[in-house]
Structure 1
């Protein structure tokens, strides 16, 4: 193999793969996955595997990026259960704004899921339909989450004193 120009092109494969693995932002990872597929298709076509290059370009890159984009978009949501009859006052709007800012730093969206009563809200949390609940008990809001990392993030960054934050530890059956 006397074509020395191939070495830098082939070296791009592990380089882009490492960039993909260490990428924190899932949307940037999708773009890097596209680069990885393009580099792989280019290397395959230069080395004489036109059919493999076409398959990589069509299936490996285009289809997988579309599927990854759908999966990333649908999975980066924090579902917050609230009561239907809860009054959306100014303090609650401030709490939601602060939650959206905290979650936005981690590429999460906040989705409010209304429930008719507190019992349905507790069942939804136990059935893992929602990730957290927020109800108003008098003056403070009570927020219960079943995900430890979300609890840690809220505990460290939530600056609203009107919120009682609770982590609901799951009991695993052996």
Structure 2
């Protein structure tokens, strides 16, 4: 192991690992994980461990990246409950929410419910993450059960939006006051 290129390749391993740790975008982290696995497989093959290199390439890189991609894709969804008579959410509100969530790499999925009681129960049962009720004469009412979504929306929604946080795990409902 006196060849200088081996030292350069081995130095790539911790550099790539550090880059992986500091990724904020989950998709970029998946790419970095793939690069990390490829470098590890290359190092193993250079050092003569072909079986370990093949295992790392197949299991550690291809399979894990595929499973991580599926997990990231399915967990990056915000399920927004709406009433069935509001199937076309006001495009400005929907676009505003999509913009807010896309900054955090989240997708918005609309789920319809027949009445306000079922909508609220779905939020408490953890079927959906957030609800929106559109009022023709007032600002939209948005409720969420996830504190990080509440903080995200609170800082970026217009001040006239009625935004509440509901804690479904508390013995009694904890509702924060609307934005000022």
TM-score over 0.5 for the alignment? yes
Give unmatched runs, 5+ long, in structure 1: none
Could you tell me how far 1:172 is from its partner in structure 2?
4.7
Determine helix, strand or coil for the equivalent of 2:105.
Answer: coil
Aligned equivalents of 1:69, 1:169: Cα separation in 2: 30
Answer yes or no: is the 8 Å Cα contact 2:81–2:131 preserved in 1: yes
Length-normalised TM-score, structure 1: 0.91
Partner of 2:138: 139
Could you tell me how far 1:3 is from its partner in structure 2?
3.1
Greater relative contact order: 1 or 2 (C-alpha under 8 angstroms, separation 6 or more)? 1
Partner of 2:175: none
Partner of 1:16: 16
- Let me know the Cα RMSD of the aligned residues: 1.6
Could you tell me how far 1:87 is from its partner in structure 2?
6.2
Determine helix, strand or coil for the equivalent of 2:138.
Answer: coil
Aligned equivalents of 1:56, 1:66: Cα separation in 2: 14
Give unmatched runs, 5+ long, in structure 2: 172-180
Aligned equivalents of 1:172, 1:50: Cα separation in 2: 55
Determine helix, strand or coil for the equivalent of 1:98.
Answer: helix
Aligned equivalents of 2:7, 2:168: Cα separation in 1: 52
Q: CA 1:93–1:2 in structure 2 vs 1: closer, same or farther (change >3 Å)?
A: same
1:92-111 equivalence runs, <5 A: 92-111=90-109
Could you tell me how far 1:111 is from its partner in structure 2?
0.4
Answer yes or no: is the 8 Å Cα contact 1:95–1:160 preserved in 2: no
Length-normalised TM-score, structure 2: 0.88
